[in-house]
């Protein structure tokens, strides 16, 4: 397997951060108990549990490998099929999408993988729906991610969904990762924003002013660019159009407010820049599959403050 994919999983769920308010997780390394798996390049990982321990997991994470065209062990494929039947979320990082395919779980389902292996995934599993313009993709209980850093995005997204924005943000700060990236962003960023880039000031200003109407014209004026240049720079720097980026930022702000405050839904909608609770409800439905009220209730039921 890829040492990076394993390391991401271990960094997110394998470190005790309860002192910072992060829930305590139990990370099980499942395989043939006591066996050692090669983690390329130049490392190894010892299994702490047998494959039977997969059955009791709340989440199954499958690291990718340096070569996606692997013959995955039958007991692993059987464990993935059983987890899928039970509705347990499965996150396949990078090339691990091929493991889901070998387990027969991609038939008729959406998935992605590293951009280098997109065509191979389509070729090997033609009955799946392979999406190349995405950092990560969800279909039912299955999650797949693009290469390398997209695995971090997916893992933090899963933490966010289960334990709230503050928990994901705390883990992200410890990992010194950039701000949350939506799964709908492109895999390849042509010109990432650096701290010295004047464009980064525009992004920071926009995040602080989501409650006011923000248009491409207004953002372009702030950045000192033409609207056409701004639109091109947005895609190069974030992998998203300005309007898509603003929408994702507003949804994330609304999530934080719903999780961490008792503000009425209408007030949250205005603070996040949706203008009305009806508009925010439509956005939540398209993006998260739930209403803002249902989202808040779900976190209250889990005891997330």
How far is 107 from 46, CA to CA, in rounded Å? 32
Can you give the pLDDT at residue 107? 96
42-81: pLDDT as tens digits: 999 999 999 999 998 999 999 998 887 788 889 999 999 9
CA angle 152, 158, 161 (to 5 degrees): 140
Claim: this prediction has a pTM higher than 0.95: no
Q: What is the mean pLDDT of residues 158-176?
A: 86
* pLDDT (0 to 100) of residue 236: 79
Rounded distance, CA 146 to CA 153, Å?
10
CB-based contacts of 25, cutoff 8 Å, min separation 6 = 13, 14
Tens of pLDDT, residue by residue over 225-272, are 899 998 888 887 777 889 988 998 999 899 889 988 999 999 999 999
Q: What is the pLDDT of residue 191?
A: 38
- The gap between the terminal CA atoms of the chain, to the nearest Å, is 37
Q: What is the mean pLDDT of residues 97-114?
A: 96
């Amino acid at each position: 397997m890829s040492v990076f994919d394993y390391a991401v999983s271990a960094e997110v769920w394998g470190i005790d951060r309860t002192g910072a308010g992060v829930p305590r997780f139990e990370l099980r390394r499942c395989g043939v108990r006591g066996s050692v798996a090669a983690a390329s390049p130049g490392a190894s990982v010892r299994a702490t549990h047998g494959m039977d321990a997969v059955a009791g997991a709340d989440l199954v994470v499958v690291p990718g490998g340096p070569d996606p065209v692997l013959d995955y062990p039958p007991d692993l494929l059987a464990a993935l099929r059983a987890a899928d039947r039970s509705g347990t979320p499965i996150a396949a990082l990078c090339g691990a999408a091929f493991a889901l395919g070998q387990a027969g779980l991609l038939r008729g389902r959406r998935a992605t993988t590293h951009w280098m292996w997109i065509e191979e995934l389509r070729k090997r599993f033609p009955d799946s729906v392979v999406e190349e313009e995405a950092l990560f993709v969800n279909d039912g209980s299955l999650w797949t991610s693009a290469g390398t850093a997209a695995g971090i995005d997916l893992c933090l997204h899963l933490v966010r969904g289960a334990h709230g924005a503050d928990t994901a943000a705390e883990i992200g700060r410890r990992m010194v990762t950039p701000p949350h990236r939506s799964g709908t962003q492109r895999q390849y960023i042509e010109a990432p924003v650096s701290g010295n880039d004047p464009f980064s000031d525009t992004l920071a200003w926009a995040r602080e002013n989501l409650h006011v109407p923000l248009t491409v014209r207004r953002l372009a004026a702030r950045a000192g660019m033409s609207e056409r240049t701004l639109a091109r720079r947005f895609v190069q720097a974030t992998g998203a159009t300005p309007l898509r980026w603003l929408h994702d930022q507003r949804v994330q702000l609304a999530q934080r407010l719903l999780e961490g405050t008792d503000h009425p839904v209408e007030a949250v909608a205005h603070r996040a820049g949706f203008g009305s609770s009806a508009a925010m409800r439509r956005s939540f439905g398209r993006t998260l599959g739930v209403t803002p009220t249902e989202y808040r209730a779900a976190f209250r039921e889990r005891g997330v403050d």
